[in-house]
C-alpha cells in the first residue's frame, strides 16, 4: 500500500515537465502524474487524439518525459498491441500504457479496444474520463452522464453513460478497475496491482474537467471526491476472478451515508438546468448501479 512517505521521494521529480498547454486545473495532468509515480517513471505511452495530444506542447519539445507515440484517434489499442509484441520479442518486459480519453475509448476506438481486450494483449489501458470530447470543445461522448450539458446536448444528454469498465469485465480480461484522481493512493495501488498481472488491464479513471463541467478551476479534486462521496462514482476493482468495492467507496454502499447528490451537482454548471425530478431519477440510477456492482461482487467472490 503506497503512502505519502513513500511518494515523498518524488517531491522534486518532474514526471511531466511544468509549462504545459493544459487548462488550469486539468485533471489529466493530476492523473498522469499519479500514474507515473505508480510506475516509477518507467513506461511508454500510446496516446490517441485528445487533450493529451495538445497538453505536452509543441515540437521540438514535449512535457512528457517517457517515450510517447501519438496516434490517430481510433487506433491506440491496436498500435499498443503492435508495440508490445515488438518489444517483448526483444526481451523488453517494460510497461506499455495506453493513455486515452473517453471519446477515444468508448466511441471511436471501441472496436480496437474490444479487439485488444479480447486478445488479452499485455498492455495497461487507462481511460482518463472527463466525460465528453473536451479537446474539440465539450461535445457529448459515450461516457457523458445523463442530463449533462454539452455543446451537442445543450438541453441535457438523453442517453445514459456507457459503462466501459463493465464491458471490459465481460471481455474476461484479468484486471479491471475504476479509480479517481481524488483518491491517488487507491489509484496508485491499483496501477501497481495491475502491473503484477499479465494480459489486458483496464482502469477507468474519473477526471473532472473544470471548463467542460463549467466548474471553478480549483474544484477539480473537490468534484472528484464528491462524486465518490455521493455514490455517483463507485470505486471497485476486479482482479483475476475477485471483484471488490475499494476502501474509499465502502462507506457509501449504504445509501444513508452518501452525501446528498446536490452537493456534487451544484458545483457543476453542466447540471445547472436540472429539476428536482431529474435529480431524483439520477439518484435512482445511482442506486441501480450500486445494486449491479454489489451483485457482481457477490458473483466474483
Partner 1 sequence: MTGQISLAKQVKKVLVGDHAVAEAVKLARVNVISAYPITPQTLIVERISEMIERGELKADYIRVESEFAALATVYGAAAGGARAFTATSSHGLFYMYEMLWWAAASRVPLVMAVVTRVLGPPWNIHDEHTDLLAIRDSGWIIGMAQNVQEAFDMTLTAFKISEDEKVLLPVAIGLDGFILSHTAEPLDIPSQEDVDSWLPPRNPRIPYTIEPGGEPITMGNLPKNDVYHALLKKYMDESMENAKKVIAEVYDEYGKLTGRNYGPLTECYRCSDARYIAVSMGAWSGDIMGAIERLRDEGYPVGLLRIRYLRPFPEEDITAWINGAKGVIVFDRDYSAGLGGVLASEISGFIPSNVSFEGVLAGLGGFDVSPDEFRGIIKEFIDKTEREGPIKIRKYWYIPKVEG
Partner 2 sequence: MSVAEKLKGLLLSTPAAGAGGRTGTWRVYRPVVNYSKCTKCGLCWLYCPENVIDWLEDKNVRINYDYCKGCGICADVCPVKAIDMVKEGVV
CA distance 94 to 142: 31
| Contacts to partner 2 from residues 196-215, by CB under 8 A | 210
CA distance 272 to 263: 12
Q: Which of 78, 132, 138, 228 binds partner 1 (CB under 8 A)?
A: 78
Q: How far is the CB of 113 from partner 2 (least distance, A)?
A: 26
Q: Could you say which of partner 1, partner 2, none residue 3 binds, taking C-beta under 5 to 8 angstroms by partner kind?
A: none
Cβ pair 171, 219 in contact under 8 A: no
CB count, 10 Å around CB of 161? 19
CA dist list (Å): 167 to 48, 118, 202, 255: 20, 11, 10, 25
**Unique residue bearing C-alpha cell 475504476:** 178
* Closer CB to partner 2, 24 or 247, in the complex: 24
**220 belongs to the binding site for partner 1 (CB under 8 A):** no
* Closer CB to partner 2, 35 or 286, in the complex: 35
Q: How far is the CB of 184 from partner 2 (least distance, A)?
A: 6
**179 belongs to the binding site for partner 2 (CB under 8 A):** no
Q: How far is the CB of 160 from partner 1 (least distance, A)?
A: 25
What value, to the nearest 5°, has the Cα angle with vertex 173 and ends 64 and 292? 105
Q: Could you say which of partner 1, partner 2, none residue 69 binds, taking C-beta under 5 to 8 angstroms by partner kind?
A: partner 1
CA distance 265 to 127: 23
Q: Which of 2, 82, 214, 300 binds partner 1 (CB under 8 A)?
A: 82
CA distance 105 to 109: 5
Q: Could you say which of partner 2, partner 1, none residue 14 binds, taking C-beta under 5 to 8 angstroms by partner kind?
A: partner 2
**288 belongs to the binding site for partner 1 (CB under 8 A):** no
Stretch that binds partner 2, among 63-71, 133-141, 249-257, 258-266 (CB under 8 A): 63-71
Q: How far is the CB of 21 from partner 2 (least distance, A)?
A: 3
**5 belongs to the binding site for partner 1 (CB under 8 A):** no
CA dist list (Å): 85 to 4, 70, 185: 35, 18, 31
* DSSP code at position 214: T
- CA–chain centroid gap for 84, Å, is 22
* Closer CB to partner 1, 108 or 181, in the complex: 108
Q: Which of 2, 7, 33, 53 binds partner 1 (CB under 8 A)?
A: 53
CA distance 285 to 276: 14
CA dist list (Å): 113 to 75, 125, 135, 248: 9, 9, 20, 28
Cβ pair 74, 108 in contact under 8 A: yes
**Unique residue bearing C-alpha cell 493513455:** 99
| Contacts to partner 1 from residues 104-143, by CB under 8 A | 111-112, 114-115, 118-119
**218 belongs to the binding site for partner 2 (CB under 8 A):** yes
Interface ranges with partner 2 (CB under 8 A): 4, 7-8, 11-12, 14-22, 24-27, 29-30, 33, 55-65, 181, 184, 210, 216-222
Amino acid at each position: 500500500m503506497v503512502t505519502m512517505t513513500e511518494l515523498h521521494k518524488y517531491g522534486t521529480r518532474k514526471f511531466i515537465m511544468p509549462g504545459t498547454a493544459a487548462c488550469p486545473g486539468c485533471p489529466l495532468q493530476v492523473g498522469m502524474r499519479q500514474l507515473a509515480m505508480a510506475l516509477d517513471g518507467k513506461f511508454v505511452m500510446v496516446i490517441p487524439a485528445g487533450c493529451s495530444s495538445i497538453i505536452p506542447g509543441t515540437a521540438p519539445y514535449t512535457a512528457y518525459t517517457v517515450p510517447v507515440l501519438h496516434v490517430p484517434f481510433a487506433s491506440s489499442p491496436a498500435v499498443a498491441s503492435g508495440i508490445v509484441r515488438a518489444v517483448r520479442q526483444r526481451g523488453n518486459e517494460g510497461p506499455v500504457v495506453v493513455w486515452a480519453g473517453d471519446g477515444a475509448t468508448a466511441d471511436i476506438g471501441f472496436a480496437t479496444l474490444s479487439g485488444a481486450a479480447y486478445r488479452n494483449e499485455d498492455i495497461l489501458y487507462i481511460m482518463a474520463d472527463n466525460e465528453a470530447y473536451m479537446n474539440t470543445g465539450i461535445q457529448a461522448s459515450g461516457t457523458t452522464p445523463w442530463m449533462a450539458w454539452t455543446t451537442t446536448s445543450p438541453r441535457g444528454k438523453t442517453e445514459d453513460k456507457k459503462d466501459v469498465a463493465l464491458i471490459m469485465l465481460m471481455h474476461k480480461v484479468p484486471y479491471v478497475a475504476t479509480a479517481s484522481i481524488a483518491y491517488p493512493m487507491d489509484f496508485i495501488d491499483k496501477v501497481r496491482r495491475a502491473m503484477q498481472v499479465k494480459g489486458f488491464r483496464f482502469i477507468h479513471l474519473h477526471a473532472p474537467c473544470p471548463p467542460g463541467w463549467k466548474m471553478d478551476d480549483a474544484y477539480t479534486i473537490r468534484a472528484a471526491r464528491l462524486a465518490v462521496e455521493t455514490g455517483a462514482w463507485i470505486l471497485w476493482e476486479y482482479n483475476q476472478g475477485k471483484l471488490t468495492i475499494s476502501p474509499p467507496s465502502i462507506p457509501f454502499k449504504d445509501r444513508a451515508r452518501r452525501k446528498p447528490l446536490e452537493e456534487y451537482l451544484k458545483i457543476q454548471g453542466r447540471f445547472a438546468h436540472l429539476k428536482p425530478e431529474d435529480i431524483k431519477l439520477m439518484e435512482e440510477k445511482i442506486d441501480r448501479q450500486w445494486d449491479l456492482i454489489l451483485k457482481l461482487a457477490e458473483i466474483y467472490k
